[in-house]
């Protein structure tokens, strides 16, 4: 923490009676750090930060700062962040594809609450989207939505020209493995062809940029640990592990990863890529494992797990993933790949048991005993990866990101959210045709 005060204050040419030292204190949260300054209005122009320097806050000022869950984090080490990394308080416009989905909506809500950035969300609103997820963003002065399919390159190009974003965060994707096995066409069209069209539109847009705008532009592609295939016992995937996907979904994402890498190397597009482990948390579509367990358990239906239930995944709360995405988007090094993992490996059976334990505590079913009695095993998925495990040491070392949400507490909070949001579940299930 600290206070931003003018350098050489006496020479700032202030108007009489306009003493910054007597203005009301304001704070701004940025990259997990909370800044305090005196101003009549919020800073919205990066140039307004010129002429300020850092000073620790006085005791009475520290007492007036709101607590933040990430205030204990140390500042990012300057040697490890990319050139043209953001200065605290810089306001950007981010164009987010797939922003109405699970991770995208969480990112948008976080950006609107905890950053000065403007957000443009382009999404074609498939079955996997519940409009209620972004109710809190509706009408926000820094939020705009456009119903656009990334496969429609002219529409994407028009959106880029209209909004002139500083950075693109590419989250739009078909992501359910079972659906990709049943019908891979939508996965190839969206994840491969759509990414290609988006890259080409971004490249054309990038060529129109000059000076600082060109230097600051980034294309951040969000991928998955599934592109690496199945990990050996005890091993972890690094950013240099060859891609070896084992499902149509994973293959489509691996193809997109390669396209992004090639568009950087061949055309010089300033790209960033992240790959994350399994996410969970509020507003996740009911077809995914943890929401499905909750919904099936409450309905008294069997909780079906593939095979012996001992497939291992690393589970990360979506809030931790969102913080990592912001770190990389704002400070990542161009051309680099960052693995994002929580180092919380659990088998699917262990996850199901944790969810059932939370339900037993929050909504006990005396007639059933324990919800875990509903767990059953079904035939395994085709070519099912046995274990995923990422090594997140690069993002921890270079960008000072660390997971903060404990798994058991996070699952309990997630279960409580679903218990409190029956309308959201019903809407999501209705849109999915369930």
89 SS3 class: coil
| Strand-by-strand arrangement of the 278-280 sheet | 278-280, 312-317, 345-347
User: Do 224 and 180 contact (CB within 8 A), yes or no?
Assistant: no
Q: Which of 118, 174, 226, 287 is catalytic?
A: 226
User: Do 166 and 214 contact (CB within 8 A), yes or no?
Assistant: no
Task: Provide the β-strand partners of residue 276.
Answer: 224, 340
User: Do 285 and 434 contact (CB within 8 A), yes or no?
Assistant: no
User: Which residue spans within 78-217 are E strands per DSSP?
Assistant: 93-97, 118-123, 143-147, 167-170
Q: Which of 166, 174, 225, 287 is catalytic?
A: 225
CA neighbor of 95 nearest in space, from 134, 133, 114, 121: 121
CA distances from 287 to 6, 54, 175, 273, 305 (A): 53, 48, 11, 26, 13
| Strand-by-strand arrangement of the 33-38 sheet | 25-30, 33-38, 2-6, 52-55
Q: Which of 30, 205, 249, 338 is catalytic?
A: 249
249 is catalytic: yes
User: Do 305 and 375 contact (CB within 8 A), yes or no?
Assistant: yes
Q: How is residue 406 written in tokens? A: 């404990």
Q: How is residue 274 written in tokens? A: 């992240």
398 is catalytic: no
Q: Residue-wise over 221-235: b if at least 16 C-beta within 10 A, else e?
A: bbbbbbbbbbbeeee
User: Do 356 and 293 contact (CB within 8 A), yes or no?
Assistant: yes
CA distances from 99 to 2, 87, 121, 344, 383 (A): 33, 25, 5, 26, 30
Which position has the token pair 């049943």? 182
User: Do 124 and 147 contact (CB within 8 A), yes or no?
Assistant: yes
CA neighbor of 228 nearest in space, from 166, 163, 277: 277
413 is catalytic: no
Catalytic residues: 225-226, 249
């Amino acid at each position: 923490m600290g206070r931003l005060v003018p350098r050489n204050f006496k020479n700032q040419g202030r108007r009489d009676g306009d003493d910054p030292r007597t203005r009301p204190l304001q704070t701004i949260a940025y990259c997990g750090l909370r800044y305090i300054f005196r101003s009549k209005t919020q800073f919205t122009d990066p140039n307004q930060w010129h002429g300020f320097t850092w000073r620790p806050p006085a005791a009475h000022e520290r007492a007036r700062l709101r607590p933040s869950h990430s205030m204990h984090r140390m500042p990012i080490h300057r040697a490890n962040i990319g050139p043209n990394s953001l200065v605290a308080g810089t306001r950007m416009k981010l164009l987010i594809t797939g922003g109405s989905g699970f991770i995208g909506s969480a990112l948008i809500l976080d950006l609107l609450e905890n950053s000065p950035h403007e957000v443009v969300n382009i999404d074609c609103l498939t079955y996997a989207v519940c409009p209620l997820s972004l109710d809190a963003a509706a009408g926000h002065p820094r939020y705009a939505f456009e119903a656009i399919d990334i496969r429609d390159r002219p529409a994407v190009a028009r959106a880029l020209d209209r909004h002139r974003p500083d950075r693109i965060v590419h989250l739009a994707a078909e992501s359910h493995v079972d659906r990709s096995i049943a019908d891979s066409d939508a996965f190839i069209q969206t994840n491969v062809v759509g990414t290609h069209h988006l890259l080409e539109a971004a490249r054309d847009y990038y060529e129109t940029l000059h000076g600082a705008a060109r230097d600051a532009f980034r294309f951040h592609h969000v991928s998955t640990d599934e592109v690496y295939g199945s990990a050996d016992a005890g091993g972890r995937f690094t950013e240099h592990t060859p891609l070896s996907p084992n499902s149509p979904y994973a293959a489509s994402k691996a193809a997109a990863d390669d396209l992004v890498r090639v568009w950087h190397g061949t055309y010089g597009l300033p790209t960033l890529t992240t790959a994350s482990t399994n996410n969970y948390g509020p507003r996740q579509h009911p077809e995914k494992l943890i929401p499905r367990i909750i919904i099936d358990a409450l309905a008294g239906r069997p909780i079906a797990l593939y095979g012996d239930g001992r497939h291992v995944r690393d589970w990360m709360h979506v809030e931790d993933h969102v913080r990592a995405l912001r770190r990389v988007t704002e400070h990542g090094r161009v051309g680099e790949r960052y693995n994002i993992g929580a180092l919380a490996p659990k088998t699917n059976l262990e996850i199901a048991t944790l969810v059932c334990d939370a339900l037993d505590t929050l909504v006990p079913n005396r007639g059933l005993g324990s919800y875990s009695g509903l767990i059953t095993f079904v035939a395994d998925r085709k070519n099912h990866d046995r274990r995923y495990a990422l090594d997140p040491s690069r993002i921890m070392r270079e960008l000072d990101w660390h997971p903060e949400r404990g798994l058991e507490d996070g699952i309990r909070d997630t279960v409580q959210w679903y218990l409190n949001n029956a309308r959201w579940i019903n809407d999501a299930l209705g849109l999915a045709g369930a």
